[in-house]
A and B are shown apart, each in its own frame.
Chain A
Amino acid sequence: MALIELNDIGRTYDLGEVQVHALRSVTMQIEDGESIALVGPSGSGKSTLMNTLGCLDRPTRGSYRLAGEEIVTMTRDQRARIRNRQLGFVFQNFNLLNRTSALENVELPLMYGTKVSPRQRRDRAREVLDLVGLGDRYHHHPSQLSGGQQQRVAIARALVNRPSILMGDEPTGNLDTKTSREVIELFNRLNETEQITVILVTHDLNVARTARRTVAVRDGEIVVDTTDFAQAKAALESDESL
């Protein structure tokens, strides 16, 4: 059994007059420990697919099994629980709570999860902040941190509940090339040393190159799914020439 099984997933936005098919039919499997780059042109449905995988959004069609459990038929509360326990999500714009310290941001998911004492919570938050290399920035507020540091706090927050999957929707989109590389290295390190499954959306080929598997999306459908980066690159470049 694969960690993730998507079967004929569709997501349609009903805007009254028109219907937008953000995802037409997506079927794919992801194994535990994989490292995947989700690429594709703007508006192709990458974010929609990512939000579906992240249990933030519910598809209008199809089946999504995560570790054998069907997500599509779950209630809001059940999905909240999955997000809290099994998934870590990182956003392009970091989405940290402002005027709140790094430590407290990282503690947040622990408050919504199983009961842990405030002490254990603090210790765990320190541990993950150390892991992402922010051992000296516990009490800084987001406004006192650089973009790269903020994204590290966000990654620490995503990791704090020891999820099996770490997801990012263009996590380096707001970062400069150097910082971007550092953050990607962090993702790869977590994938290799902690065996966390990593799924990243990116339009940066340099980022995509470091993933072991590349999935290209176009018009709400998977057009390429390969471990051969050259093939993915070719598919993407043909897109851009259109």
Chain B
Amino acid sequence: MSFFDTLRTALRALRKNKMRAILTIIGVVIGIAAVTTIVSIGQGANRLVQGELQGLGTNVIFVTPGQKRERGVLRNDAPTLTEADADAIALECSAVRAVSPMIWTGGQVIFGNENWSPKEMVGVGPDFLQVRAWPLAAGSFFSEADMESSAKVCVIGQTLIGKLFRTTNPIGQTIRINNVPIRVIGILAKKGANMVGDDQDNLILMPQTTVRKRLVGDPLDNIHAIMVSARSMDQMHRASDQMRNLLLERHEIAPQEEPDFEVTDMEEVSSMLGIVTGTLTMMLSVIAGISLVVGGVGIMNIMLVSVTERTREIGIRMALGARGRDILWQFLIESIILSSIGGLIGLALGTALSMGATVVINTYKPGTEWPMVVSIPAALVAMGFAAIVGVFFGFYPARRASRLDPIDALRYE
């Protein structure tokens, strides 16, 4: 029998039992919709995490102080990094594009009658904006000269405009931090909230020398961290290695000794987070997959009933010259049609559901731009999965039908 005739025969048979076909389809719809929703929400989560990491700056690598043995005691927070380390990295590591020393402090910012405590108060180097790939909205950034002179200047995040200056143009205004007058010379571009919902624009930047000498009052040239960006994604590992070797040498760490610093590149963090979101998505998909299997068992059940009910029809077809494979295909196509229709509807429903979920998340947590992912490969996989369910669970009943003996089938009451 030709494919077209088989298809037509299968469709007619399904139409004769509409209600039953619809109920069977619903089973598959639920399974496919669940898989589609979970996969696309999972991919959204992954995309969000990756986006956040991108937001941190391109190809960023962190150097942080490691353990240090001080009078026999192991310390995790010992200040082991210096400004000279940062300079050496900038000078000697060829895979590094930009370097910024980092030093954190806290306190109140006062302007006129207003005061505000920014979430972050950081001393940075002149290349900080390059490291974080963060443009300025207005004004200018610190120069080498500002660094040399520990200039009393700062660059503010967008949130501070509203909190302190209202309608006044902040540029050129002088604010006070711990009674030190500091002039605003630039405003950072708006960055928005990060994935945990923290406002990233609630910060103030100053030259690291200013923070160290005028605010913290550290007599040494210790810094809290060094933030580095590699020349490209491919150069990340090379940059990390170069820095590691350089710092081992500079800190005179013997081969068997634990280094007193740590180099963490964002690729590691990113792949680690990717594994976490991936595992979660996988686990949920397995649960969703189970409902798909339940849908498949529904198909098998209905097809078995159908084969039994239509035993005589099978006998008649065989008596008229249908071969085993003609009967096999007739029933197999029926179950593939059921599962494919279920797959299509499930896909549409799943897409709608994940869109709805995205809208809900974004309304519930403003500032977070949860990305909507309608993944074509995922859709294809879902459809393929549906068809496979049809073939897998339809095969046994169809084969049973195809193996019937014509005489027995004709005699069946």
Contacts and interface: CB of A to CB of B under 8 A. Distances in A.
B323 interface: yes
A80 B318 contact: yes
Among A57, A76, A96, A161, residue most surrounded by chain B Cβ atoms (within 10 Å)? A76
A160 B326 CA distance: 19
B410 A84 contact: no
Nearest to B321: A84
A97 B316 contact: yes
A57 B320 CA distance: 14
B37 to A, nearest CB: 39
A121 B9 CA distance: 15
B321 A80 contact: yes
Contacts, number: 59
B317 A57 contact: no
B214 interface: no
Interface in A80-96: 80-81, 83-85, 89, 91, 95-96
B321 A95 contact: no
Given A77-B324, A85-B321, A111 B1 contact: yes
Given A97-B313, A108-B317, A111-B2, A76 B323 contact: yes
Interface string A87-117: 0010100011101100000001101110100
Given A56-B319, A111-B2, A91 B324 contact: no
Interface string A170-201: 00000000000000000000000000000000
Contacts of A76: 323-324
B177 interface: no
A210 interface: no
B94 to A, nearest CB: 72
A85 B323 CA distance: 13
B5 interface: yes
Interface string B317-344: 1111111111000000000000000000
Nearest to A51: B407
Contacts of A111: 1-2, 5, 9
B157 interface: no
Main SS at interface, chain B: helix
B324 to A, nearest CB: 6
A157 interface: yes
Nearest to A89: B319
A113 B407 contact: no
B101 interface: no
Nearest to A115: B2
Contact of B320 (A51, A77, A108, A115): A108
B312 interface: yes
B16 interface: yes
Given A99-B16, A111-B1, A80 B316 contact: no
B406 interface: yes
A77 B327 CA distance: 12
A89 B316 CA distance: 10
B396 to A, nearest CB: 19
Interface in A109-129: 109, 111-113, 115
Interface in B1-38: 1-2, 5, 9, 12, 16
A112 B316 CA distance: 12
A85 B321 CA distance: 8
Contacts of A115: 2
A112 B322 contact: yes
Interface string A116-149: 0000000000000000000000000000000000
A77 B319 contact: no
Contacts of B320: 83-84, 108-109, 112, 157
A57 B16 CA distance: 31
Contacts of A97: 313, 316
Contacts of B321: 80-81, 83-85, 109, 112-113, 161
A112 B12 CA distance: 17
Nearest to B2: A115
A112 B1 contact: yes
A34 to B, nearest CB: 22
B323 to A, nearest CB: 5
A85 B320 CA distance: 9
Nearest to B316: A95
A56 B2 contact: no
A112 B325 CA distance: 11
Nearest to A54: B319
B143 to A, nearest CB: 84
B130 to A, nearest CB: 72
Contact of A80 (B313, B323, B410): B323
A57 to B, nearest CB: 5
Nearest to A77: B323
Interface in A51-87: 51, 54, 56-57, 76-77, 80-81, 83-85
Contacts of B318: 80, 83
Nearest to A80: B323
Given A77-B323, A95-B316, A112-B323, 11 more contacts: A54-B319, A56-B407, A57-B407, A76-B323, A80-B322, A83-B318, A83-B319, A108-B316, A109-B320, A111-B5, A112-B1
5 A-B pairs closest in CB distance? A84-B321, A112-B321, A109-B320, A80-B323, A77-B323
Interface of B: 1-2, 5, 9, 12, 16, 312-313, 315-326, 406-407, 410
25 contacts: A56-B319, A56-B406, A56-B410, A57-B407, A76-B323, A76-B324, A77-B324, A80-B322, A80-B324, A84-B320, A84-B321, A85-B321, A95-B410, A97-B316, A99-B16, A108-B320, A109-B320, A111-B1, A111-B5, A111-B9, A112-B317, A112-B321, A112-B322, A112-B323, A161-B321
